[in-house]
Amino acid sequence: MKESVITAILSILSGLLLIGAVAGIILKDRTAPVISLEGKNNMTYTEGDDMDVLLKDMTAEDDKDGDVTDSLRVSNIYMTSNNRAMVVYVAKDEANNIAKLKREVKYVQKEVVVEEVTEAQEETASETEQTTETAAENNAQSSAPEATQEETAEPRVIMLQNEATLKVGETFSIYRYVERAVDANGNDISRSMHVEGTYDTNAAGVYQLQIYARDANQVRTNVETFTLTVVP
């Protein structure tokens, strides 16, 4: 008799546990938040700007956790045409349900200063460099200073790559191929990139360009040679 009662109690407890487990699975939050744009879609994004500006007027709401806008992030942005780009947003709730939303915005590329170097300018620059080298050699021979371990810091531009191939009609932006440009103090001067030489992305050909930047005192960084190939 006692064994039958114990067996019945254990069966009831097992049934309750099973019901609880099934209920937990059924009631588990599987609904992702909803990402929304408040207002009109008239955003303009300029290449190189902080992507946080793209979060303006964007919200994320979850049916269980409420406002989860703090989890909203820009996961990607890519160009769809010369002046339009697609922004990919993501947000998640406490159950790690992830929502995604795509939004097309106006895209403005940074203006790159293109300078054409004349033959006279090249000759002047060459003569100046030769004069500087000669003066340095004379000073070294006359004064013979002791070697120092400290090197004078100079502004530098560091490239990701020194060549690129585009199809006719595609947009060229040097910022895609530059890792960074810094002045002698390590401050970012990437916004002052210069491209010397001529190129035409609407005409097939191979274009040799000179890439550099200038700091606040107009001191020029090292000059990098960049090969741009435009194919049909």
Domain limits of the chain? 34-108, 113-128+153-231
Asked if the model's pLDDT at residue 167 lies above 70, the reply is: yes
Mean pLDDT rounded to a whole number for the chain = 81
Superfamily of domain 34-108: Immunoglobulins (2.60.40.10)
Fold held by 113-128+153-231: Immunoglobulin-like (2.60.40)
Nearest to 152 by CA among 185, 189, 129: 185
Read off the DSSP letter of residue 152: -
Which burial class, exposed, middle or buried, applies to 12 when counting CB atoms under 10 A from its CB (0-12, 13-18, 19+)? exposed
Q: pLDDT: is 167 or 18 the higher one?
A: 167
Taking the C-alpha atoms of residue 223 and residue 228, their distance in angstroms, rounded to an integer, is 16
| For residue 68, pLDDT beyond 90 | yes
Instruction: Give the separation between CA 168 and CA 129, rounded to whole angstroms.
Output: 38
pLDDT over 70 (residue 122): no
Do the strands 98-108 and 44-46 form a parallel or antiparallel pair, or are they unpaired? parallel
Other CB atoms within 10 A of residue 143 CB: 8
Give the 3-state DSSP-derived string for 180-220, with helices as H, strands as E and coil as C: EEECCCCCECHHHEEEECCCCCCCCEEEEEEEEEECCCCCE
What's the pLDDT band for 47 if we cut at 50, 70, 90? confident
Enclosing H/E stretch for 2: helix 2-27
Q: Do domains 34-108 and 113-128+153-231 have the same CATH topology?
A: yes
Which of 110-124, 142-156, 158-172 has maximum average pLDDT? 158-172
Rounded-to-10 torsion of CA 192, 193, 198, 202: -100
